[in-house]
């Protein structure tokens, strides 16, 4: 017991920082979520579960929760699908362009996601490049609705998340011994089987980490659903924004935030469990 | 593939044939520069040579893991140069074992069989047999991480053997093991290879491994073959000073031919007069080599037969268990000498004057190029 | 002695001139001094407000230093004020009236006394807040925005939002944004029911409009999207529409819908617990005066709330304070709207926004 306390000594600054940066705001959020808001955004001191009951008892908000979850899961899956070959290539290539390509891959991180989302609006809009091209080859009469809906949000999220996922995957591949793949080949595994039976399972830690990070970032992302969703894609983050800044119902906004934190918790738990399965 | 019987061929036709095999990694020097080699079925051939001489590259070209820059690889008369690794049916044992860390021992061994789409039952049976062969039956369900180095290496061997490969390729499989285990596994590998009658190419830079295990040794240097032959041939009749120096210990002297005739030559090595058992052109500079344990020491010298004899003084003496290692000074030239302990040879003291003699057969002479 | 007699009257005159603001005030307690913090919108509003109001005020009251603290949008500012309620760091706040109503009820703002703020006497009735709380300083009104190249003839009202030929070309902010709430009131009028009547028919009408909507989240805003042709119709605010009309050379225009408009305003509020109420009140009074309001109208087309502000007729016509415009505004019981706003918003979220 004493020894545990002594060992914790050097951790004290980190613990303090965590308390200030994480625990305190969360505690404040929890407290606020138990308050009440009278019509028009007036804040009333109270201790009530009303906000949670409202969220959980209302199909609309459960729908928001469900939509947020599958949107984030689908965005993570799409990101993984696109990033995996890219990361594999970057991790393996001996090309002298490798450094350049790697920088190119993560360069989007240097640009704010707002700007990147604007870029997608230029591409996906009714007057955008895609629809322009389709019009040019007279494939479509009316413009295709590529944004201001869930499709646009998924496209945007996938692009925004790709650098993060690619970095996580590259880190995973770096720990994968290439002779294992050679061993598989020598044992008669064609390239597809090498990928499925050796590369993929062994890169699972990277896959899981990348998926966790993109899931969490996607489900809490606000800019992309807001700007590319055209106001039609109601997810937890946009609901929190609306409640906090438009209807001024802070207690309810706090309750939705707590639900979001709970989703993070579940995601983290699933990650831990999957990691235990795949950690070698 | 696995089950296909090799086409019938003459008994003495080579089973594995390398012709002009070469590899130049992009930009670099040739790692392997035109290798010709024929290996008979069931033969155990070792590629031996110093680090960087191209052993691994050669092995990997045979496995199909490295594409040759030039040359041809034939197995049982069929050109496999362009056949991808997964269709070559080569069993490879890697230096790092390369066991799949996410699969159990049994599943590691089963991997190659699963790739061949064999029925479940037959896979189980052959995995059990293979694990029994390497005496690991009871560890079948362990993960590789939970095994010792030697056990891991035996799993790797079982995994390579279970697919009944055309050729077993082993790249320094023992170099990560401690000396005692290495000797044990050395015998075990050789024993299994003989029992199965499998053709094996074994890469090592350890001459003891090469000498004790091989039917034939291919001694490589800088991407080329220096000599191919049985261990005894390489040891007793090395084709070059490189071979002589690489296998076993050697004294090396340089000398000039001063007289020649009657199947003999007289050499002068910095004042020391020596005899060689063949005729060499006068004035040619030669390298003279003699193994330390082939030199006999005696108090007065003389003795029967033709040979070389020099007088020397003992400079240094080290007791090394099975032998005493000495350094003697013969007119300014230092020779290393080994005398067996336990009455097999006479052992002088330091500073003592001795006669050192060795036979003409043990006097290796190479004309300098 | 002689000199003094000659100089005397001049000195008195100079003193009178210098003191005139104080003398004019009914209770000239003392010339205010010290520092105050004004919190209001960032961006173009800040640039113009500092030039049109803050700097002239400091010239007139050299003893007062006003620090402009850009607090974000109205809700964000309310949040900051809530957080500082025990120890306010802000003395005067300019925020939207729909938000200042909440602040008034929460006790974040103080009521104003006509003795301290003489200019209150000249404020339009429309700009007064219940209980003599911080009044409006700028008027704005709900308008229909359109691109004259795309909508021909020019739109007139709600029927243009329902017109199938405008499908996919409309963008505006839905409830809970004030624009959505205000539009609902106009639509109620258009179909001949009051906004206090049961809202099912209004929601049904809004759902039809929703089918023509391209985006509920115009980016950066629907004025810009109309200018660059991505949208043809929208709902917005007059002042911004006038500003963009000038800036774009007429690529976006606006009308008050035939059904009517909704008056919107920014209010100026004294923060309860201000540490320098004298200077804060002096500033509020100054901001409500005719001259500063005129300058804001000139800079940003905000309609003055002071009846005595005299604008050139062409400019006046383009602000909400134009008599013709004020006459078209639908009177709204905002207390009632505040009480049903959450229900309206829920209907928008569930039925209007998802309507395809
Ligand atoms: N992938 C590669 N790319 C470039 N050069 C290589 C590559 N692999 C090996 N080489 C070079 O080719 C030469 C032969 O290498 P190889 O690995 O075949 O030697 P080796 O005989 O197996 O040596 P060791 O005993 O150290 O394992 C070396 O000079 C090495 O640097
Ligand atoms: Mg090697």
What is the mean pLDDT of the segment spanning A107-114?
A: 85
> Residue A269 above 60 pLDDT?
yes
Residue A39: the pLDDT is 64
Does residue C36 contact residue C283 with C-beta atoms inside 8 Å? yes
Whether A249 and chain C come into contact, CB under 8 Å, resolves to: yes
Residues of A in contact with C353 (CB under 8 A): 231-232, 234
Return the closest-CA partner of residue B210 out of B53, B344, B320: B53
Residues C345 and C275 in one domain: no
Residues of A in contact with B101 (CB under 8 A): 180, 202, 280
- The answer, yes or no, to whether any atom of ligand 1 lies below 6 A from the CB of B57, is yes
Residues C292 and C186 in one domain: no
The structural domain count of chain C equals 2
Return the closest-CA partner of residue C207 out of C143, C162, C258: C162
**For all residues of chain B together, what is the average pLDDT?**
90
> Which chain C residues in 328-347 lie under 8 Å from chain A, judged by CB atoms?
338-342, 345-346
Residues C205 and C347 in one domain: yes
* Facing B65 at nearest CB: one of A186, A189, A190: A186
Residue A19 CB neighbour total at 10 angstroms: 11
Every domain of chain B with CATH number 2.40.50.100 lies at 249-367
Q: What is the pLDDT along chain C (356 residues), one digit of tens a residue?
A: 334 444 444 444 444 444 444 444 444 456 889 999 999 999 889 999 999 999 999 999 999 999 999 998 888 899 899 889 899 999 999 999 989 998 999 899 999 999 999 999 999 999 999 999 999 999 999 999 999 999 999 999 999 999 999 999 999 999 989 999 999 999 999 999 999 999 999 999 999 999 999 999 988 899 999 999 999 999 999 999 999 999 999 999 999 999 999 999 999 999 999 999 999 999 999 999 999 999 999 999 999 999 999 999 999 999 999 999 999 999 999 989 988 988 999 999 999 999 98
Total-model pTM: 0.80
| Beta carbons of C106 and A43 less than 8 Å apart | yes
| Beta carbons of B91 and A186 less than 8 Å apart | yes
* Facing A39 at nearest CB: one of C82, C215, C341: C341
Paired tokens of B201: 């190419």
> Residue B330 above 70 pLDDT?
yes
CATH number, domain with residue C186: 3.40.190.10
Q: Is the residue at C283 inside a domain?
A: yes
Residues C193 and C165 in one domain: yes
Every domain of chain B with CATH number 3.40.50.300 lies at 16-89+164-245
Q: Is the residue at C280 inside a domain?
A: yes
Its domain, for residue C45, covers 34-139+265-320
> Residue B22 above 70 pLDDT?
yes
Closest Cα in chain C, distance from residue A255 (Å): 17
Residues in chain B: 369
Residues C66 and C121 in one domain: yes
| Beta carbons of B89 and A189 less than 8 Å apart | no
| Beta carbons of B145 and A280 less than 8 Å apart | yes
User: Which letter does DSSP use for residue B187 in this model?
Assistant: H
Q: C196: which residues sit within 8 A by CB, 6+ positions away?
A: C333, C336
Residue C4: the pLDDT is 40
**CA–CA distances in Å: residue A88 to residues A166, A279, C51:** 9, 20, 58
Whether C92 and chain A come into contact, CB under 8 Å, resolves to: no
Q: How many CB pairs under 8 A join A and B?
A: 71
Look at domain B16-89+164-245 and name its CATH class.
alpha beta
> Residue B345 above 90 pLDDT?
no
Residues of C in contact with A227 (CB under 8 A): 217, 219
Q: Is the residue at C20 inside a domain?
A: no
Residues C234 and C349 in one domain: yes
Q: Is the residue at C311 inside a domain?
A: yes
Q: How many CB pairs under 8 A join A and C?
A: 75
Paired tokens of A116: 């990147």
Residues of A in contact with B102 (CB under 8 A): 201-202, 278, 280
Does residue C39 contact residue C94 with C-beta atoms inside 8 Å? yes
Touch of A by C (3+ CB pairs closer than 8 Å): yes
Residue A74: the pLDDT is 97
Residues C200 and C343 in one domain: yes
Reported as a single tens digit per residue, the pLDDT across B135-146 is 999 999 999 999
Q: Is the residue at C198 inside a domain?
A: yes
- Looking up tokens 């699972």 gives A204
Residue A38: the pLDDT is 76
- Looking up tokens 């309310």 gives C78
The domain made up of B249-367 is a member of CATH 3.40.309.10: no
What is the mean pLDDT of the segment spanning B330-356?
A: 85
Domain boundaries of chain A, sorted by first residue? 62-279
Reported as a single tens digit per residue, the pLDDT across B49-92 is 999 999 999 999 999 999 999 999 999 999 999 999 999 999 99
Residues C198 and C276 in one domain: no
Can you spell out the DSSP letters for C120-171?
GGGB-GGG--GGG-SPEEEEEEEEEEE-TTTSSS---SHHHHH-GGGTT-EE
Does residue B359 contact residue B294 with C-beta atoms inside 8 Å? yes
Split at pLDDT 50, 70, 90, the class of A18 is confident
> Residue B294 above 80 pLDDT?
yes
Q: Are strands C170-171 and C233-237 parallel, antiparallel or unpaired?
A: parallel
Between CA B357 and CA B298 the distance in angstroms is 8
Residue C28: the pLDDT is 44
Between CA C46 and CA C70 the distance in angstroms is 7
| Beta carbons of A231 and C341 less than 8 Å apart | no
Q: Is the residue at C239 inside a domain?
A: yes
The domain made up of A62-279 is a member of CATH 1.10.3720.10: yes
* Facing C216 at nearest CB: one of A41, A232, A244: A232
Residue A96: the pLDDT is 84
- The answer, yes or no, to whether any atom of ligand 1 lies below 6 A from the CB of B60, is no
Residues C43 and C88 in one domain: yes
Does residue B76 contact residue B15 with C-beta atoms inside 8 Å? yes
> Residue B226 above 60 pLDDT?
yes
> Residue B34 above 80 pLDDT?
yes
Residues C71 and C213 in one domain: no
**What is the enclosing helix (H) or strand (E) of B210?**
helix B207-213
Reported as a single tens digit per residue, the pLDDT across A178-215 is 999 999 999 999 999 999 999 999 999 999 999 999 99
What is the mean pLDDT of the segment spanning A157-182?
A: 92
> Residue B10 above 60 pLDDT?
no
Residue C29: the pLDDT is 52
Residue nearest to atom 14 of ligand 1 (CA): B54
Q: Is the residue at C208 inside a domain?
A: yes
Residues in chain A: 280
Closest Cα in chain A, distance from residue B52 (Å): 19
Residues C221 and C316 in one domain: no
HSE (CB half, 13 Å, CA atoms) of A114? 2
């Amino acid at each position: 017991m004493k020894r545990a306390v002594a060992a914790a000594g050097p951790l004290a600054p980190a613990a303090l920082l965590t308390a200030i940066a994480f625990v305190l705001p969360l505690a404040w959020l929890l407290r606020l979520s138990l308050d009440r808001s009278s019509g028009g955004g007036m804040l009333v001191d109270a201790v009530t579960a009303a906000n949670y009951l409202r969220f959980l008892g209302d199909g609309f908000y459960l729908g928001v929760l469900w939509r947020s979850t599958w949107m984030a899961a689908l965005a993570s899956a799409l990101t993984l699908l696109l990033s995996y070959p890219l990361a594999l290539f970057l991790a393996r290539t001996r090309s002298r362009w490798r450094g350049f390509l790697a920088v190119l891959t993560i360069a989007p991180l240097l640009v704010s996601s707002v700007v990147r989302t604007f870029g997608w609006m230029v591409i996906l809009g009714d007057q955008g490049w895609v629809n322009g091209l389709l019009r040019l080859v007279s494939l479509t009469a009316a413009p295709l609705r590529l944004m201001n809906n869930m499709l646009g949000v998924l496209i945007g999220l996938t692009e925004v998340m790709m650098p993060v996922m690619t970095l996580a995957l590259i880190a995973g591949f770096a720990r994968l011994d290439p002779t294992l793949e050679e061993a598989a080949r020598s044992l008669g595994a064609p390239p597809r089987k090498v990928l499925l039976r050796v590369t993929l399972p062994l890169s699972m830690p990277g896959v899981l980490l990348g998926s966790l990070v993109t899931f969490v970032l996607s489900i809490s992302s606000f800019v992309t659903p807001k700007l590319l969703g055209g106001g039609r894609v109601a997810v937890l983050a946009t609901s929190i924004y609306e409640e906090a800044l438009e209807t001024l119902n802070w207690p309810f906004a706090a309750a939705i935030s707590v639900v979001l934190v709970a989703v993070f918790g579940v995601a983290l738990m699933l990650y831990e469990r999957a990691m235990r399965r795949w950690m070698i | 593939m696995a089950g296909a019987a090799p086409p019938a061929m003459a008994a003495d036709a080579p089973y594995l044939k390398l012709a002009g095999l070469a590899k130049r990694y992009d930009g670099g020097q040739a790692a392997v520069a035109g290798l010709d080699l024929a290996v008979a079925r069931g033969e155990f051939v070792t590629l031996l040579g110093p680090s960087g001489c191209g052993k691994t590259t050669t092995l990997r070209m045979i496995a199909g893991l490295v594409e040759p820059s030039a040359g041809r690889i034939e197995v049982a008369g069929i050109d496999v140069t362009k056949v991808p690794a997964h269709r070559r049916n080569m069993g490879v044992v890697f230096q790092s074992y390369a066991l799949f860390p996410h699969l159990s021992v049994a599943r590691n061994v089963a991997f190659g069989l699963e790739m061949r789409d064999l029925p479940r039952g037959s896979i189980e049976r052959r995995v059990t047999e293979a694990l029994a062969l390497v005496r690991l039956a009871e560890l079948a369900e362990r993960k590789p991480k939970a095994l010792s180095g030697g056990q891991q290496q035996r799993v790797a061997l079982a995994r390579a053997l279970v697919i009944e490969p055309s050729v077993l390729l082993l790249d320094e499989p023992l170099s990560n093991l401690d000396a005692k285990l290495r000797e044990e596994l050395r015998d075990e590998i050789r024993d299994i290879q003989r029992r199965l009658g499998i053709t094996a190419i074994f890469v090592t830079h350890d001459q003891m491994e090469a000498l004790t295990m091989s039917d034939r040794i291919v001694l490589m240097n800088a991407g080329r073959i220096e000599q191919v032959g049985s261990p005894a041939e390489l040891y007793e009749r090395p084709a070059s000073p490189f071979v002589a120096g690489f296998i076993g210990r050697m004294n090396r002297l340089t000398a000039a031919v001063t007289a020649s005739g009657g199947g003999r030559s007289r050499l002068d090595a910095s004042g020391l007069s020596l005899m060689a058992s063949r005729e060499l052109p006068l004035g040619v500079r030669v390298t003279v080599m003699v193994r330390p344990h082939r030199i006999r020491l005696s108090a007065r010298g003389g003795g029967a037969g033709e040979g070389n004899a020099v007088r020397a003084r003992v400079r240094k003496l080290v007791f090394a268990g099975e032998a005493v290692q000495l350094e003697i000074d013969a007119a300014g030239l230092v020779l290393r000498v080994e005398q067996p302990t336990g009455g097999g040879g006479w052992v002088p003291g330091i500073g003592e004057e001795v006669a050192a003699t060795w036979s003409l057969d043990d006097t290796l002479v190479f004309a300098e190029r | 002695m002689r000199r003094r007699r000659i100089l005397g009257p001049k000195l008195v005159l100079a003193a009178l001139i210098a003191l005139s603001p104080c003398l004019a005030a009914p209770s000239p307690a003392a010339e205010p001094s010290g520092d105050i913090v004004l919190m209001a919108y960032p961006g173009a509003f800040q640039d113009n407000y500092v030039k049109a109001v803050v700097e002239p005020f400091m010239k007139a009251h050299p003893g007062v230093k006003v620090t402009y603290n850009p607090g974000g949008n109205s809700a964000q500012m309310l949040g900051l004020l809530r957080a500082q309620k025990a120890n306010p760091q802000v003395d005067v706040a300019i925020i939207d009236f729909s938000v200042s109503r909440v602040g008034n009820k929460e006790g974040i703002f103080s009521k104003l006394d006509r003795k301290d703020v003489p200019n209150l006497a000249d404020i339009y009735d429309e700009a007064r807040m219940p209980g003599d709380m911080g009044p409006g300083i700028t008027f704005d009104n709900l308008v229909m925005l359109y691109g004259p190249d795309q909508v021909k003839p020019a739109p007139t009202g709600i029927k243009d939002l329902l017109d199938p030929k405008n499908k996919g070309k409309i963008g505006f902010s839905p409830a809970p944004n004030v624009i959505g709430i205000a539009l609902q009131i106009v639509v109620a009028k258009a179909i001949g029911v009051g906004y206090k009547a049961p809202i099912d028919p209004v929601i049904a009408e809004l759902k039809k409009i929703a089918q023509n909507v391209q985006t509920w989240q115009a980016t950066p805003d629907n004025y810009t999207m109309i200018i660059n042709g991505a949208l043809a119709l929208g709902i917005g605010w007059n002042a911004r529409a006038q500003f963009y009309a000038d800036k774009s050379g007429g690529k976006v225009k606006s009308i008050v819908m035939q059904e009517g408009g909704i008056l919107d305003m920014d209010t100026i509020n004294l923060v309860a617990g201000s540490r320098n109420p004298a200077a804060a009140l002096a500033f509020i009074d100054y901001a409500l005066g005719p001259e500063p309001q005129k300058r804001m109208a000139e800079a940003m087309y905000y309609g003055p709330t002071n009846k005595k502000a005299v604008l050139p007729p062409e400019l006046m016509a383009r602000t909400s304070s134009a008599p013709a415009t004020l006459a078209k505004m639908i009177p709204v019981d905002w207390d009632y709207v505040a009480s049903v706003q959450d229900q309206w918003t829920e209907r928008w979220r569930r039925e209007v926004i998802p309507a395809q």
